[in-house]
Amino acid sequence: MSRGGGRGGGRGGGRGGGRGGGVPGIQTFGPDAIQATFKNPGETYPDIILPVARPPTDEEGEMYIAMKKLQETLYSSPYYLTEPRKPGAITRYTDRYHQDQAAKRPKLDTIKSSKSFFPDELHSILDPKTITRKREINHKYDISKIDENEDDGEAEIDPETGLPKKTGDGEDGPEEEEYEDEDDEDDNDYGENYFDNGEGDDDDGDDGDGGDY
């Protein structure tokens, strides 16, 4: 494998250019390149002459300025997420001049977008008043209708997602109803913490039911 890597002109900017005349070096690019072979591998770490990148044109300079401006806009937009600045152990005089960028940025619920682009579980971020309830399939069976045509019991399929459509009755309820944000209760994915691990027991020394092992 030839030495000097396989990068075509990519590193010229960072290094600042090749070496001047009088400094020995091996040409590893172009027609005068010395390629390492099995019989003549050469030095392990030779001094190599890197190619110098051509300077930027006016157009490229304008592109860089436009990109830099967009970068700054993105940095101060609600889409750039960072951890909030934590106060250090020692309070310094210059702390008054340091801004918490995370606190300065607008929140995600101020962005102009439509809920239809996002799945239900992300609606609470866009609109904090919404609670996302876990969509469950309505499996209520009416025994009196058991002899009727089975097709009537099947849910209607949504053509876009291929999944059963939400029914407008029973558990789901109207959409205008306000829900709490489930994340306010817990920071985990467990919907119902019915097992309290014995914390809420008034233990009178009974053996209790114990576990079945």
Residue 68 parent element (H or E)? helix 58-75
Among 11, 85, 145, 165, binds another protein (CB under 8 A): 11
Q: How distant, in Å, are the alpha carbons of 145, 153, 163 from that of 141? A: 8, 8, 20
**Residue 141 in contact with another protein, rule: CB under 8 A:** no
Nearest distance, CB of residue 88 and another protein, angstroms: 13
Closer of 32 and 192 to another protein (Cβ): 32
Dihedral sign from CA coordinates of 40, 43, 45, 50? negative
The pattern of x and - marking residues 103 through 122 that bind another protein according to CB under 8 A reads: -----x--xxxx-xxxxxxx
Nearest distance, CB of residue 53 and another protein, angstroms: 6
Residue 157 main-chain phi, psi, to 5 deg: -90, 135
Structure tokens that stand for 30 in this block: 């172009």
**Residue 139 in contact with another protein, rule: CB under 8 A:** yes
**Residue 100 in contact with another protein, rule: CB under 8 A:** no
Nearest distance, CB of residue 3 and another protein, angstroms: 12
Question: Using CB atoms within 10 A of its CB, is residue 28 exposed (0-12), middle (13-18) or buried (19+)?
Answer: buried
Nearest distance, CB of residue 204 and another protein, angstroms: 38
Closer of 22 and 31 to another protein (Cβ): 31
Structure tokens that stand for 190 in this block: 């467990």
List the one residue out of 59, 34, 62, 32 whose CA is nearest residue 46: 34
**Residue 42 in contact with another protein, rule: CB under 8 A:** no
**Residue 6 in contact with another protein, rule: CB under 8 A:** yes
Closer of 48 and 125 to another protein (Cβ): 125
Nearest distance, CB of residue 52 and another protein, angstroms: 11
Residue 119 CA to residue 137 CA, distance in Å, equals: 17
Q: Coil, helix or strand for 27?
A: strand
**Residue 35 in contact with another protein, rule: CB under 8 A:** yes
